[in-house]
A and B are shown apart, each in its own frame.
Chain A
């Protein structure tokens, strides 16, 4: 098949992936300010998409890591393999989204690509050192870094605004919601610096693989522009879904906590983008939410809930790698393989879209991973409420 057709397919699919990424992640940045009433939903969505657009232009370190660092000798890679990896990632992403399983679209993308390349060209074709240093270790440490930072920032914010106990003066902590207007915009900006670059990396990879661009060359301007627009449009469209279904899951997050968590998330992602760490922005945001929950007096971890979230994270990359490897095997079977792979991908996209529309998408499907993560920490208030109902139930039994 004409390599240009494959390149075209990859560009379209990569931009679609970018769009769904923005669509999916609006909640990470804007759920808290909407929940606390700091921003009107319409304004929040508009700001989030603009900031994503701007963020995409700030750096290309992550894109270069994917197009140059991750794959050895990308010039000898068949463009079909990039296509296979990308379809594998999209299939994994849509399926987990549909089933309501926690997953990371970034890790799905890396997993799909790595699996496809290994299946096609063996273990020597991927740069394990780069994958470990820029994806794997950051995946473990960045959420912890964000969590510790958010924990400290929450402690600081509460300590500084604390009033001595003998006065009944207000602490004014509600005012942190005005700061959240900026901190959540910062998260959206950071999201653009990391996630839009993943798409740029994939498009550049296929350009290098098909010989349209020299190996190791810079990301081209039209690629940056297309990726930036796709993520911004996705963010904008995704916002309307959140507004309708905005979960109560984050209502426990107070403005001061929200600000601390958001600044920690943005700082961690921005610093990582600078060094070319390709992160899951959702995992970093989850780390911050957990950290800030623990930073408030009486916050406690629900370990079984935490376990669920972490296992979902760990599984994504290898599982997507497997799907990527399978679709790579199909594609390598011959020209018909590409057609089969495309047909499967498009069929799954349409099927899931149709089913989710008919079912009007239940809250389980649309609730963000961030809400999931916020449930990892049990606040003092929640624990008190739980003990109260437990005692009531117990005394009710005793009477019988």
Chain B
């Protein structure tokens, strides 16, 4: 009556949760970091630092790119659970 635990599917859930969460959180955290960099550069630029202006733009662009990537990872993860939507994954 008491069948052994099907570790396989539990590991699948663990693996999927861990990889997805880590990916999303890492992308978002670096986004936050770059955004703060951009803001600091903005302050320096206001104080007359010419280089800082370029640094602000680069950091801000990077931050938004990372946020977008993080958001895409979320959407992809959600679509994976819908049956027959992405055929490569059972």
Q: A residues near B, CB below 8 A? A: 58-61, 128-129, 132-133, 137-138, 141-142, 145-146, 148-150, 152-153, 156-157, 160-161, 169-173, 175-176, 179, 182, 186, 189, 193, 256, 259-260, 263-264, 267-268, 270-275, 277
Q: A133-B6, A277-B13 are in contact. Are A271 and B25 (CB under 8 A)?
A: no
Distance of A34 Cα from B12 Cα, bound (Å): 33
Q: Is the CB of A138 within 8 A of B10?
A: yes
Distance of A260 Cα from B14 Cα, bound (Å): 15
Q: Is the CB of B26 within 8 A of A270?
A: no
Near A by CB (< 8 A), chain B positions 16-34 give 16-18, 20-22, 24-26, 28-30, 32-33
Q: Which of A59, A172, A259, A267 contacts B33 (CB 8 A)?
A: A172
Q: Which of B10, B16, B29 contacts A267 (CB 8 A)?
A: B16
Q: Is the CB of A58 within 8 A of B78?
A: yes
Near A by CB (< 8 A), chain B positions 48-90 give 70-71, 74, 77-78, 80-83
Which of A142, A145, A157 gathers the greatest number of chain B CB atoms within 10 Å? Answer: A145
Interface residues of A, dominant DSSP: helix
Q: Which of B12, B25, B82 contacts A275 (CB 8 A)?
A: B12
- Collect the chain B residues with CB atoms within 8 Å of residue A277's CB: 9, 13
Besides A133-B3, A179-B70, A263-B20, 13 more A-B contacts (Cβ < 8 Å) are A60-B83, A128-B2, A137-B5, A137-B6, A141-B13, A145-B10, A149-B22, A152-B22, A160-B26, A169-B36, A179-B28, A259-B25, A264-B21
Q: Which of B17, B32, B77 contacts A149 (CB 8 A)?
A: B17
- Collect the chain A residues with CB atoms within 8 Å of residue B5's CB: 132-133, 137
Q: Which of B2, B17, B29, B74 contacts A132 (CB 8 A)?
A: B2
Q: A160-B26, A275-B9 are in contact. Are A267 and B21 (CB under 8 A)?
A: yes
Q: Which of B22, B35, B74, B83 contacts A182 (CB 8 A)?
A: B74
Q: Is the CB of B21 within 8 A of A149?
A: yes
